[in-house]
Structure 1
């Protein structure tokens, strides 16, 4: 199980044995225990013949099998007592966190879904693709408005319609209005991301180097934030596991590698992001930004990011790039009680399975 802590957090939330239903407290060390039990045969079997080696291994396995059956009751009692103790501890944490198990399960599910989302991709035509999406959505809105106009015309001729038909048309108009509102909010969000909320002719902005840099910078910034969230959970789990296994040997080389190897990738992304910011600043000064007030995006400092401070600029809105859900942090990230409760809930589930 310990080796799972070296994997990426997105992998752990789905495949880690302590987070998967049905694993209980299985640690995956069955083969290692068997190898440990027959290691005393190594010296003698090195000089044995082929058939003698097979015979001795076969006899040893039969002996181990009988011994394990003889000690089965003791083993089961020990496992049961450990599970009961851990279940009691987990229940105390659940009671103290003040959240229902249904809410904690929903938050855990939301975290898994968020971690499994695809990272926003960068490309030279990213801005053009965004413009195409906006234009397509605007076209859909226009079609829906025409549909509402047609339904209203039919309602004006209400003398020829039955009551059920009138109710159906009225419900259709209301549903279409809600859909238009949802699509319009999506258009506004995409235009804010592009910084083209004050522009009328989006078609003329195809191929804009500034818009391409802005979209790629936003995508890279979102990717950095996701990587930092994963890094936080990975570091906490690895450090806790190693403190338990290595008896406070915090300077162990493998520990340091597991904890810090993600930082190199994040630092590379920060460097790339800062280069995009520098390019955007140059383009703004050259007057290649769309209409509207010019605001320079902020650079990021890699050293500050790894402190995981909630007040760091990466978690705040960048005026040069627009909002990126900074005011809507999920509870599994912002609420410590929810985090503790989710951990305890997973522990309780594994105890019950055990």
Structure 2
């Protein structure tokens, strides 16, 4: 009798899963989205949700300052490169092939420069500090270390709360289904 009950339970669950699968396929067809596009979106979502959470570190402030200084150096080098390419483009004595090569490279380098500017600004905002002179002063600042550690703790807490909420929702749904199936079987 227990095997029969198990078999009926499996059949019932199988039918429910099959109905949900068919409903999902119908929704995908209705939305007219390419399944490859949806798989890509799914993979991005999984990647984002499974990335490791930031951890506290005694040297986080120094690392952040070093990274900001490195980004500033990259940005300065790209600025120089763009300036030299612009000089070649505007030089009337330059060969036509040099001008064309410089134009092609200028577009590429300008995009890299904009990205480097954006990355540097984001890193400076994360530090809460502007200017190269201040970077050197804050390299061993306990304030910056505490701020970055607090940010890491905040992110970890928020992610754990989200995870707990989803676990609780799943548990509550499972409990409601079980109770309703028991009530229906009576």
Distance (whole Å) between structure 1 residues aligned to residue 25 and residue 107 of structure 2: 47
Q: 1:228 and 1:242 mapped to 2: Cα distance?
A: 21
TM-score by length of structure 1 reads: 0.42
Q: CA deviation at 1:165?
A: 3.2
- 1:241 paired with 2:174, answer yes
Give the total of aligned pairs: 170
Which ranges of structure 2 fall in alignment gaps of 5 or more residues?
A: 4-10, 181-186
Deviations 1:267-324 (A, max 9, x none): xxxxxxxxxxxxxxxxxxxxxxxxxxxxxxxxxxxxxxxxxxxxxxxxxxxxxxxxxx
TM-score when normalising by structure 2: 0.74
Deviation at 1:239, TM superposition (A): 2.7
Q: Is the 8 A contact 1:158 1:166 kept in 2?
A: no
Contact 2:69 2:132 in 1 (8 A): no
Aligned equivalent of 1:227, options 160, 168, 172: 160
1:210 aligned to 2:143?
yes
CA distance in 1 between partners of 2:108 and 2:132 (Å): 29
Instruction: Choose which of 85, 97, 102 in structure 2 pairs with 1:151.
Output: 85
Do the aligned residues in 1 keep the contact of 2:88 with 2:98 (CA within 8 Å)? no
The change in CA–CA distance for 1:160 and 1:207 in structure 2 (over 3 A counts) is closer
Q: CA RMSD in A?
A: 3.2
Aligned-pair CA distance for 1:109: 2.4
Quick one: distance in 2 between partners of 1:230 and 1:87?
25
- Distance between the aligned counterparts of 1:197 and 1:236, measured in 2? 44
Match of 2:72 among 126, 138, 142: 138
Match of 1:188 among 117, 121, 127: 121
Q: For 2:32 and 2:53, how far apart are their aligned partners in 1?
A: 31
CA distance in 1, matches of 2:32, 2:163: 24
**CA apart distance, 1:104:** 4.8
**Counterpart-to-counterpart distance in 2, 1:101 and 1:229:** 30
Instruction: After TM superposition, give the deviation of residue 112 of structure 1 in Å.
Output: 0.5
Unmatched 5+ stretches in structure 1: 1-35, 38-77, 249-354
Distance in 2 between residues matched to 1:199 and 1:165, nearest whole Å: 35
Equivalent residue number for residue 63 of structure 2: 129
Q: 1:198 to 1:89 in 2, by over 3 A?
A: same
